């Protein structure tokens, strides 16, 4: 059954900068009740010259408070506007969007979460939901430098390793460097990050016979399937269009790594 998307008015509960150009915002919204790890929302700028919402992944869900947490990088005009929002401000959002990570795949297995850069935020809710199901969770977070945003949040739910490109913290290199240098064993990999990282993870998992799920959300534009800016190639033909394509925002953003040609 297709999920219904709703455009609603949310209210900012809190916002702070947690690293250079990285902002952490909690939103009070009814959409929190139906949100799960790996999904996202569309946030509408108040500037009416900007028609499309900005897709931002869900970092954490608090159903008791009916709140969603988003952590995003300021990358342009829209996110620049969001960074100025203060407690109590209203904001229009669309959600819940996309298909999340398959939590049932972690049953009686060790799941390794690989997050790179702004792909780290979705790993927080994912680690939480997997832990609640009794799954053994290891998280490896890859950063450019020593600004280890969300590391302490991940540590609440998982054993955490860190990689930094400049070697200032943890292992010098990337998330796969940690896998090899620390001999981290995975039954299942779930990952989100920049495309070169996801390509490398797909190869790594295939070579070792590990099931991997990857979130391709970084390539989205509108987030609602309208612009076709996020089409990716698939290894199987779509049974509707009969072509080897999928829209990341509506068919994903999470895919079995074997099903996408990246």
Does the global pTM surpass 0.95? no
* Best mean pLDDT range from 42-56, 119-133, 246-260: 119-133
pLDDT of amino acid 216: 87
- Model pLDDT, residue 261: 79
Question: Hey, what long-range contacts does 206-211 have (CB within 8 A, 24 or more apart)?
Answer: 206/257, 206/258, 210/186, 211/105, 211/187, 211/256
pLDDT band at 1 (very low <50, low <70, confident <90, very high): very low
Judge whether 53 and 42 are in contact, CB under 8 Å: yes
Question: What pLDDT score does 48 carry?
Answer: 77
- Long-range Cβ contacts of 75-78 (<8 Å, 24+ apart): 77/45, 77/47, 77/50, 78/43, 78/45, 78/47, 78/50, 78/54
Contact by Cβ (8 Å): 82, 25? yes
Mean pLDDT computed over every residue of the chain = 89
Question: CA 9, CA 136: separation in Å to the nearest integer?
Answer: 37
What's the rounded Cα separation, in Å, for the pair 153 and 214? 21
CA distance 174 to 115: 10
Residue 122: the pLDDT is 97
Peptide bond into 31 cis (omega under 30): no
Is the torsion defined by CA of 40, 171, 137, 158 positive or negative?
A: negative
Q: Does residue 160 have a pLDDT over 90?
A: yes
Checking if the pLDDT of 251 tops 70, the result is no
| pLDDT one-digit tens code per residue, 164-198 | 999 999 999 999 999 999 999 999 999 999 999 99
Classify the phi-psi angles of 38: left when phi > 0, otherwise alpha if psi is within -120 to 50, otherwise beta. Answer: left
pLDDT in tens, 86-122: 999 999 999 999 999 999 988 899 999 999 999 999 9
DSSP sequence for 61-117: EETTTTEEEEEEE--SHHHHHHTT--TT-EEEEEEEESB---GGGGTTSEEEEEEEG
The pLDDT value recorded for residue 204 is: 97
Query: What span, in angstroms and rounded, lies between the C-alpha atoms of 126 and 130?
Result: 6
Interatomic CA distance for residues 68 and 31, integer angstroms: 8
CA dist 245 and 251 (Å) reads 10
Q: Is 128 helix (H, G, I), strand (E, B) or coil?
A: helix
Of 33-37, 133-137, 235-239, the poorest mean pLDDT is in 235-239
CATH superfamily of 6-97: Translation factors (2.40.30.10)
Residues 6+ apart with CB under 8 A from 87: 12, 13, 14, 15
Q: For residue 37, is pLDDT > 90? A: yes
**pLDDT tops 80 at residue 125:** yes
Q: What is the pLDDT of residues 190-232, one digit of tens each?
A: 999 999 999 999 999 999 999 999 998 654 455 455 554 555 5
149 secondary structure, DSSP code: T
């Amino acid at each position: 059954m297709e999920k219904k998307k709703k455009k609603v008015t949310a209210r900012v509960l809190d916002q702070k900068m947690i690293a250079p150009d990285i902002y952490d915002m909690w939103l009070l919204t009814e959409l929190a009740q139906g949100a799960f790890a790996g999904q996202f929302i569309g946030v509408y700028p108040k500037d009416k010259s900007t028609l499309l919402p900005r897709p931002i992944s869900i970092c954490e869900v608090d159903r008791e408070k009916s709140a969603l947490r988003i952590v995003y990088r300021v990358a342009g005009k829209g996110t620049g506007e969001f960074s100025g929002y203060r407690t109590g401000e209203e904001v229009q959002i669309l959600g819940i969007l996309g298909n999340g990570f398959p939590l049932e795949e972690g049953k009686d297995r060790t799941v390794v979460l690989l997050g790179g850069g702004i792909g780290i935020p979705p790993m927080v809710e994912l680690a939480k939901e997997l832990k609640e199901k009794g799954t053994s969770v290891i998280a490896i977070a890859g950063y450019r430098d020593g600004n280890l945003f969300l590391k302490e949040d991940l540590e609440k739910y998982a054993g955490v390793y860190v990689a930094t490109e400049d070697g200032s913290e943890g292992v010098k290199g990337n998330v796969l460097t940690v896998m090899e240098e620390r001999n981290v064993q995975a039954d299942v990999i779930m990952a989100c990050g920049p495309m070169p990282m996801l390509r490398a993870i797909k190869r790594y998992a295939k070579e070792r016979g590990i099931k991997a799920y990857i979130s391709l959300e970084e390539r989205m534009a509108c987030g609602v399937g309208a612009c076709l800016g996020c089409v990716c190639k698939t290894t199987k033909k779509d049974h509707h269009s009969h072509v080897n394509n999928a829209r990341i925002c509506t068919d994903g953003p999470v895919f079995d790594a074997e099903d996408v040609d990246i």
